[in-house]
Amino acid sequence: MSIHETLIRERTFHNVPGNSKKRVLENASELIAETVESLEAEDIFSGLIGRERLGSTGLGDGVAIPHCRLENCQEVVGTLVKLPEPIDYDSIDGNPVDLLFLLLVPTEATEAHLQTLASLAERFSQEAFRKGLRDSENAEGLYQAFINFN
């Protein structure tokens, strides 16, 4: 599965509020639940926080890819979030995070989950890609910067 297939415009959010990892994940969970009928915000948040307890999903360079498997998830769900200000995220490089790609997958989608995570990590490792996302001024620009990057 292509990472382009996991993200839709309605799950691209610019300037999501939150001054902590927990608050940002909580706010993002609520936004995702509004766009995916089969998922509840509490379940999303619980899954993401549970995964964070195993180790931070902060990759470095201001990027995090919070992810989890969810029982009621029917398809791979990607959500792109740009924060108004970077937050502490316990990232591997110690730097704060301002770009997040949340990934929710069905419990049985192990291989797809790993492949999508690897593709996302590769894309976010590119400085030009991160710059394009950071230069966006609204959700539409953020979405276009994501899908149009080669």
Question: What is the model's pTM?
Answer: 0.94
* Mean pLDDT score of the chain: 92
- How many whole angstroms separate alpha carbon 80 and alpha carbon 146? 9
Token pair listed for 51: 């995964």
**DSSP string of 40-83?**
-HHHHHHHHHHHHHHS--EEETTEE--EEEETT--S-EEEEEEE
Catalytic residues: 67
Which CATH architecture group holds 3-148?
Answer: 3-Layer(aba) Sandwich (3.40)
Q: Which residue has the higher pLDDT, 71 or 61?
A: 61
- With 80 as the cut, is the pLDDT of residue 15 above it? yes
Average pLDDT over residues 107-115: 76
- With 90 as the cut, is the pLDDT of residue 113 above it? no
pLDDT band at 111; cut points 50, 70, 90: confident
Name the burial class of residue 143, with classes exposed (0-12), middle (13-18) and buried (19+) by CB atoms within 10 angstroms of its CB: buried
State the pLDDT at residue 74: 87
Q: Which residue has the higher pLDDT, 31 or 117?
A: 31
State the pLDDT at residue 144: 95
